Structure 1
Amino acid sequence: MTTTTAATPEAVAIAMEDALDWAVRDSLTTYVTKIARGGYTVDGGAVEREGGVFSFPLRRAVREGADWRFSFVGSVRFVAHGGLMDILIKDPEIVVGPDRGVLATHVADDPDELLAVVALAAALPEADEAGLTWSGVPTQLAPAAVDLFGTVYPAGTEMAPISIRIALDS
């Protein structure tokens, strides 16, 4: 594993295929595109993959003690009802430790502010000689994000699972 160390924290070398994959919530995508006659845009380096999964490339991975902070780039914006529904997931970050994890998004009006979107049902990703991998990690809507989703989903609502892959240099 190649790491750059400044005292603490450790920054991990990033490979091009490193990413967060998340479909947000299938019923949301269906509602926006088919019922509400809206749409979504993918921007800033994020891409849409097969099955409505959005892939956000890794910008930075930092280990601080037992915790990891993964910062990703790109955005997906769901807009419907003539702009009355406007949900932006931008430059998501995941902070995870041995017993907790959260996925947060940057808030549109304040690029320095993060909003916790979902709690992760698993802690640290599995590590092997190839890197760190999470696959199909269950998520639940965080109380702070209820308003982001227009109060349609209550706190604790199951959202789409996330997957992360981060290759580590040997």
Structure 2
Amino acid sequence: MTASGAGELRWAVRESLLGYVTRIARGTCEVSGGASEGDGGVFAFPLRSAVQEGPDWRLSFAGSVRLQAHHGLMDILIADPEIVVGPDGGVLATHLADQPDGLLAVVALDAAEAEADAADLTWTGVPTHLAPAAVDLFGTVYPAGEEMAPIEMRITIDS
């Protein structure tokens, strides 16, 4: 089963981080490539593709969010996020050129079942925790396993 390309990922990364970057450190938050920032610092990334692999879904989204502060010493980039999610959990990864396979696992997702209606699959309030590989991405401020903002995803299913 595949999706039609309609859908999105919504994620606020971490509320305290966004507040720190934009208000305390007087840094910047830049969205590009189709991503957008909504109320409360929730970022939306449009769906590029979705493929079901057994009970899991592999979801690819477009756009990027870059948080910068301290004259570039803090530089967090979430680019073209990819998610694998299923009943046993999952992972959200970002595309980064300096990674061996081009992807860096950012957060682990708790087990998540999609809710279905006539046209869409929706995951809401999926808890996330910082992946060990992303501790350096966040400037070693948060330890591995630290709770991050929950995510929600919606995809429209082809008939």
Distance 1:11 1:165 in 2: 13
Q: Does 2:82 align with 1:89?
A: no
1:1-170 alignment to 2 at 5 Å? Answer: 10-15=1-6, 18-109=7-98, 113-170=102-159
- RMSD across aligned positions (CA): 1.5
Distance 2:2 2:83 in 1: 15
Moved more, 72-81 or 120-129: 120-129
Moved more, 75-84 or 59-68: 59-68
Q: Give 4+ residue runs of structure 1 displaced > 3 Å after superposition.
A: 108-112
Larger Cα-atom Rg? 1
1:74 touches 1:90 (CA, 8 Å); kept in 2?
A: yes
SS at match of 2:140: coil
TM-score (norm 2): 0.93
Moved more, 100-109 or 82-91: 100-109
Match of 1:7?
none
Distance apart, 1:124 and its partner CA:
3.4
Distance 2:71 2:89 in 1: 38
Distance apart, 1:150 and its partner CA:
0.3
Distance 1:139 1:22 in 2: 10
1:88 touches 1:108 (CA, 8 Å); kept in 2?
A: no
In the alignment, residue 123 of structure 1 is paired with which amino acid?
A
SS at match of 2:2: strand
Distance apart, 1:14 and its partner CA:
1.9
Match of 1:3?
none
Q: Can you list the C-alpha shifts for 1:92-113, whole angstroms capped at 9, x where unaligned?
A: 0110132121111111445951
Q: 1:111 to 1:128 in 2, by over 3 A?
A: farther
Distance 2:61 2:22 in 1: 25
Q: Taking every aligned residue pair, what percent have the same amino acid on both sides?
A: 72
Distance apart, 1:37 and its partner CA:
1.3
TM-score (norm 1): 0.88
